[in-house]
Homo-oligomer: A and B are copies of this chain.
Amino acid sequence: MQSCRFAFAVHVMAVLASGKSDCCPSSRLAQTVNTNPVVIRRLLIELQDAGLISTFRGPHGGAVLKRKPEKVTLREIHSAVDQGNVFGTHPNEPSQECPVGKRIGKVMLRIQNRANRALERELEKMTLADVLRELRKG
């Protein structure tokens, strides 16, 4: 299966950005995403490490955005929660006796890098503010 962490993260960030409340606890985020609070907290840690949010403990604690939605790109959210490879590589080393097998690894790495960067470029074009606009449009 594919990971849904990016979808969860965009959802969480959108809720925080449309925030009527200052601090949103993981329990509330979990309700709207429809998952377990621990799943959300694990996400929040990654978003926090990426500098996108802050979290606070204790009563009235929770998560808040550190930046305005216009200043948060989807690339930042993506790279915060998803390790960045679009597709996988050979799990076992190919035959070093075959001229293709001997060098395919390096070539695949270049292809991977180009694919990763293309994805990042596209995600860089979209901000959390764009997501909010789309949400309002319906």
B-contacting residues of A (Cβ < 8 Å)? 1-4, 6-8, 10-11, 14-15, 18, 31-35, 74, 78, 82, 85-95, 97-101, 103-104, 106-108, 110-111, 114-115, 117-119, 121-123, 126, 131, 134-135, 138
Copies in the complex: 2
Q: In the bound complex, do residue B34 and residue A95 qualify as a contact, i.e. CB atoms below 8 Å apart?
A: yes
CB-CB under 8 A from A93, the residues of chain B are: 34
Complexed CA–CA distance, A90 and B123 (Å): 19
- A118 surroundings in chain B (CB, below 8 A): 118-119, 121-122
- A11-B126 CB under 8 A given contacts A89-B4, A119-B115: no
In the A-B complex, the 8 residue pairs with the closest CB atoms: A2-B88, A118-B122, A32-B98, A4-B88, A32-B101, A107-B134, A34-B92, A32-B95
Contact B104 A10 (CB under 8 A): yes
